[in-house]
Structure 1
Amino acid sequence: MTNPANILLVDDEPGVRESVQAYLEYSGDFNVKVAGNVAQAWEILEQETPDLVISDVMMPQVDGYEFLGKLREDTRFQSLPVVFLTARGMTSDRIQGYHAGCDAYLSKPFDPEELEAMVKNLLERRKISVQANSESAKLEEIAQEIRELKKQLGQQPIFVTTPSPIKIELTPREQSVLDLVAEGLMNKEIASRLNTSVRNVEKYVSRLFSKTATNSRTELVRFALKHGLTQ
């Protein structure tokens, strides 16, 4: 069972706060904290970063646009999804909201089911984005490790302890993939360089692992350099 997403709802109308909070929490998918103005919202934000913010636009003292601008200026909240709720439904107002950095715009009165669907969609998109960024960071870390490995092996003599050179038969395409892996390129970059699909590159890399009895790209490059399979 997944943990409920944390939502911060900011609206100066008690009726809206109560109804939206009750509706979203009913399914068990969300925990909703409410604030009647931006000052209260910041007190909550300083204690805990939510997964998504729902904010009214027309509020006293500090309106939604100013609130959103303050969020986007803070590095902690720059990627935080924000949904605007407002009685102002004119196109110019929506454009202003998107320019300010909101992710979705819903005019009052609205269907609670539409709001729920919008929130779930934004949360799913954020999850995918976070996963993609994490994977990209991991791939870059592997590429850097390979580059450092090549640099170290290039500076030091390599002593082969086997009595005779290992003979491994590689197809031209496998050799091309191996050379690009040794350069530190990831599968997507290799696919672009060789004008093929990422899936095909994954198959070639898997075959290289099998032929060289290695389990990672770093081990593969180390093996290839040690036994003269690539330069």
Structure 2
Amino acid sequence: MAGHLLLVDDEPGLREAVQAYLEDSGFTVNVASNAKVGWEMLEKQTPDLVISDIMMPEVDGYQFLQQMRDDVRFSRLPVVFLTARGMTKDRIEGYSAGVDAYLPKPFDPDELVAIVTNLMERKAAKSEGANADIADLASQVAEIRALLTNQPQFSIAANPVKIDFTPREQSVLDLVAEGLMNKEIARRLETSVRNVEKYVSRLFNKTDTNSRTELVRFALENGLTK
């Protein structure tokens, strides 16, 4: 499976060798000598996958990964760590930070190609499923906006349910009730889509609802949103 990759590593020899092997395997590879340059390249062209070293000057791999995960544009971008640090606690730190795969140096380049190919195939499969999810989400948003258009029909229940939302949960609920999609909410709150999804999931759990339409209807009937 061909694809566009970004390789970030401050070791020239390894960077050139990995780039050559990946390109021989059919990938298009852009390279950066540090995370700062890597970020600039990300903003110019989003790759299909990022391969990054951990031990780099100024901005290390963990910081670079966090920067990607906090940006809605790159929050779902597959990331592979290449590193000389092979201790279990280091791998745990990488996975906790949101890395998709972790390959200690020295490594077999065929293994890297297999990891990259697998992650890109999974990304493609998720993308197909996401298209269906987006269509369903758009339908729910349309229903929410229809509910809001006819909002006067809703009256607060005689014994409204009282739920303690955190300030951020309340903000997300208010924006969902405005008919905004997750990407729009993330932009408004300056957070990642992944974080918004977590908050929406918590709202479903706290209100015992299963869709955005049910959530907004419940919130309107119980005076839980503006």
User: What TM-score, normalized by structure 2, do the two folds share?
Assistant: 0.60
Residue aligning to 1:33 = 30
Residue aligning to 1:100 = 97
Aligned residues: 146
What are the equivalent positions in structure 2 for 1:102-141 lying under 5 Å apart? 102-141=99-138
What are the equivalent positions in structure 2 for 1:1-231 lying under 5 Å apart? 4-28=2-26, 30-141=27-138
Aligned in 2, Cα 1:136/1:35: closer, same or farther, shift over 3 Å?
same
Aligned in 2, Cα 1:141/1:115: closer, same or farther, shift over 3 Å?
same
Q: Which amino acid aligns with 2:15?
A: R
Aligned in 2, Cα 1:142/1:26: closer, same or farther, shift over 3 Å?
same
Residues 14-59 of structure 1: per-residue CA shift (max 9 Å, x gap): 011111110011122x100000001110111111001000000011
Where does structure 1 differ by over 3 angstroms across 4 or more consecutive aligned residues? 139-148
**Alpha carbon RMSD of aligned pairs, Å?**
2.1
Residues 158-181 of structure 1: per-residue CA shift (max 9 Å, x gap): xxxxxxxxxxxxxxxxxxxxxxxx
Q: Which amino acid aligns with 1:79?
A: R
Cα distance in 1 for partners of 2:42, 2:21 equals 22
Aligned in 2, Cα 1:132/1:63: closer, same or farther, shift over 3 Å?
same
Q: Which amino acid aligns with 1:137?
A: I
Greater relative CO, 1 or 2 (CA 8 Å, sep 6+): 2
Cα distance in 1 for partners of 2:47, 2:141 equals 34
Q: Which amino acid aligns with 1:26?
A: D
Residue aligning to 1:197 = none
Cα distance in 2 for partners of 1:64, 1:125 equals 23
Q: Which amino acid aligns with 2:23?
A: E
User: What residue ranges of structure 1 are gaps of 5+ in the alignment?
Assistant: 149-231
User: What residue ranges of structure 2 are gaps of 5+ in the alignment?
Assistant: 146-226
User: What TM-score, normalized by structure 1, do the two folds share?
Assistant: 0.59
Kindly indicate whether the alpha-carbon contact (under 8 Å) linking 2:25 and 2:113 is maintained by their aligned counterparts in 1. no
